[in-house]
């Protein structure tokens, strides 16, 4: 019995749940240096994150910087801050979001995600159990995407100066050869694909925040695109032109950015765009266009003419992108940078989303 370390650990007095049994809220003192802060970070945060032994050791040393081994070839780096409200929504939470969001930014840039930093800004009074739940989702998402959390920071701000919990993650990845050319190199005839039904994240968060009881209740697509991106890269090589996760502003925003970058027109057909019936119902009800609504695990892809079938086959073989569909193509420059065909075969402009109808979705 005595020799079983795991069994011992369960009853250990250092177990995070007992450490805060009498004090289950974040206090300003938890961020003000000194013993309380050190204990809080070590026992509450790092303990949770230390599931991965290597990363755990790095974090437990609590040095000022993580010392990382050499990475071969060029690297990609990205950063993103997460302020979603509410913190938990159907299909995900701010924890899974802050991992998948940054991992996806690396993946769609043609990189293999390796390391993440994790900065927490906690509002005084935040329940420790909420923090615990968020950290658990971070661990699960990091494991799923095979990234290590190697550096972090924790700050506590007075009540009212933040909304519960804000998170920043920075990611580093290794760029995969051949390096993708990006949207400025789109050509006439290139084909456009979305990797799944669109608009799920924005609608799920909106319904959760406003307590709109829709049946069935829409679920966020919050998830990793790393496997899909790597598979496309491997199978399509240079015929993969560009990838972009369609977050804020939705697919329409990406289409506009790409049209701007390549100075051609991107034409889509509304009837080809996959939209789940719950999202469509909510959009009809709220007067929104699913093409303008954020996604957190769905991307837009451009491939060379003729490579579309192969790309779709690659995507449909993966569970997270099995509903991938071709939605349009790149055509010669027209009066509108992005067009949509709705009825009577008439190409009409597809408007860029304006301002945020749904603030704080990520």
Partner 1 sequence: MKYLDEYRDSTAARILLDSIRRRVSRPWKVMEVCGGQTHGLLRYGIEEELQGTVELIHGPGCPVCVTPLESIDFAQQLSMMHTVSGHDVVLTSFGDMLRVPGSRGSMLEAKARGAQVRTVYSPLDAVDLAKKNPKQKIVFFAVGFETTAPATALAVKQAANDGVDNFSLLVAHVRVQPAMEALLESPHNRVQAFLAAGHVCAVMGCASYESLVQKYQVPIVVTGFEPLDLLEGILMCVEQLEKGEARVEIAYARSVRSEGNLSAQRIVDEVYEVCDRPWRGFGVVAKGGLQLRGEWHKFDAQRRYMSCHTLPVIEPRECRSADVLAGRIKPLECEAFGRECTPDAPLGAPMVSSEGACAAYFRYRTPEAGR
140 part of the interface to partner 1, by CB under 8 A: no
Q: Which stretch binds partner 1 (CB under 8 A): 44-52, 189-197, 243-251, 330-338?
A: 330-338
Q: Shortest approach of partner 1 to residue 347 CB, angstroms?
A: 8
263 part of the interface to partner 1, by CB under 8 A: no
25 part of the interface to partner 1, by CB under 8 A: no
Q: Shortest approach of partner 1 to residue 342 CB, angstroms?
A: 6
**Can you tell me which of 322, 333, 342, 360 binds partner 1, judged by CB under 8 A?**
342
Cα 346 → chain centroid: 35
140 or 286: CB nearest partner 1: 286
Tokens of 159: 């009540």
11 or 344: CB nearest partner 1: 344
Tokens of 267: 């034409």
Q: Which stretch binds partner 1 (CB under 8 A): 25-33, 144-152, 293-301, 328-336?
A: 328-336
Q: Shortest approach of partner 1 to residue 302 CB, angstroms?
A: 23
160 part of the interface to partner 1, by CB under 8 A: no
Residue 347, exposed/middle/buried by CB under 10 A (0-12, 13-18, 19+)?
A: middle
For the segment 196-225, give every residue that binds partner 1 (CB under 8 A).
210, 212
331 part of the interface to partner 1, by CB under 8 A: no
Q: Got the DSSP string for 110-124?
A: TEEEEEEEEEEEEET
For the segment 39-98, give every residue that binds partner 1 (CB under 8 A).
none
Q: Which stretch binds partner 1 (CB under 8 A): 28-36, 73-81, 127-135, 339-347?
A: 339-347
Question: What is the four-CA torsion angle of 320, 322, 323, 327, rounded to 10 degrees?
Answer: 100
Q: Which stretch binds partner 1 (CB under 8 A): 190-198, 225-233, 304-312, 354-362?
A: 354-362
332 part of the interface to partner 1, by CB under 8 A: no
Q: Shortest approach of partner 1 to residue 82 CB, angstroms?
A: 22
Tokens of 143: 């494991």
305 part of the interface to partner 1, by CB under 8 A: no
Region label for 62, one of left (φ > 0), alpha (ψ between -120 and 50) or beta (otherwise): left
Contact call for residues 95 and 136 (beta carbons, < 8 A)? yes
Calpha distance 303→330 (Å, rounded): 10
284 part of the interface to partner 1, by CB under 8 A: yes
32 part of the interface to partner 1, by CB under 8 A: no
Residue 11, exposed/middle/buried by CB under 10 A (0-12, 13-18, 19+)?
A: exposed
272 part of the interface to partner 1, by CB under 8 A: no
287 part of the interface to partner 1, by CB under 8 A: yes
Q: Shortest approach of partner 1 to residue 43 CB, angstroms?
A: 35
Of 250, 245, 82, 40, residue with least CA distance to 169: 82
Stated as kind and residue range, the H or E segment containing 205 is helix 200-209
Within 10 angstroms of residue 237's Cβ, the number of other Cβ atoms is: 13
Edge-to-edge order in the sheet of strand 111-123: 75-82, 165-175, 111-123, 148-157
33 or 355: CB nearest partner 1: 355
Q: Got the DSSP string for 298-317?
A: -EEEEE-TT-HHHHHHHHHT
252 or 315: CB nearest partner 1: 252
Residue 36, exposed/middle/buried by CB under 10 A (0-12, 13-18, 19+)?
A: middle
11 part of the interface to partner 1, by CB under 8 A: no
**Can you tell me which of 75, 281, 323, 331 binds partner 1, judged by CB under 8 A?**
281
Partners of 111 in beta bridges: 175
Q: How many residues bind partner 1 (CB under 8 A)?
A: 22
The residues binding partner 1 (CB under 8 A) are: 210, 212, 277, 280-281, 284, 286-287, 334-336, 342-344, 346-349, 351, 354-355, 357
């Amino acid at each position: 019995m005595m020799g079983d370390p795991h069994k011992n650990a369960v009853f250990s007095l250092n177990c995070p749940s007992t450490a805060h049994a009498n004090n289950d809220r974040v206090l300003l003192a938890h961020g003000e240096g000194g013993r309380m802060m050190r204990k809080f970070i070590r026992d509450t945060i790092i303990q949770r994150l230390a599931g991965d032994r290597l990363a755990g050791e790095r974090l437990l040393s609590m040095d000022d910087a993580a010392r990382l081994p050499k990475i071969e070839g060029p690297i990609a780096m990205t950063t993103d801050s997460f302020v979603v409200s509410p913190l938990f929504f159907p299909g995900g939470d701010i924890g899974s979001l802050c991992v998948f969001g940054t991992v996806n930014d690396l993946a769609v840039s043609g990189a293999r995600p390796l390391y993440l930093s994790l900065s927490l800004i906690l509002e005084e009074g935040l329940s420790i159990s909420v923090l615990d739940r968020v950290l658990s989702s971070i661990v699960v998402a990091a494991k799923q995407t095979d990234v290590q959390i190697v550096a972090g920071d924790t700050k506590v701000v007075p009540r009212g100066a933040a909304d519960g919990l804000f998170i920043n993650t920075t990611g580093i990845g290794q760029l995969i050869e051949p390096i993708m050319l990006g949207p400025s190199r789109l050509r006439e005839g290139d084909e456009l694909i979305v990797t799944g039904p669109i608009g799920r994240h924005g609608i799920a968060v909106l319904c959760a925040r406003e307590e709109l009881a829709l049946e069935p209740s829409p679920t966020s697509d919050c998830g990793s695109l790393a496997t899909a991106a790597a598979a496309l890269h491997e199978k399509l090589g240079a015929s993969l032109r560009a990838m972009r996760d369609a977050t804020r502003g939705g697919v329409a925003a990406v289409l506009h950015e790409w049209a701007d970058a390549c100075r051609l027109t991107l034409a889509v057909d509304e009837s080809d765009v996959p939209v789940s019936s719950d999202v469509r119902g909510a959009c009809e009800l709220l007067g929104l266009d699913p093409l303008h609504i954020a996604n957190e695990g769905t991307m837009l892809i451009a491939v060379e003419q003729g490579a579309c079938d192969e790309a779709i086959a690659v995507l449909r073989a993966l569970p997270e992108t099995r509903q991938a569909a071709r939605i349009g193509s790149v055509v010669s420059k027209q009066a509108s940078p992005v067009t949509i065909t709705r009825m009577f075969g008439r190409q009409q402009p597809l408007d860029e989303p304006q301002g945020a109808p749904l603030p704080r979705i990520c």
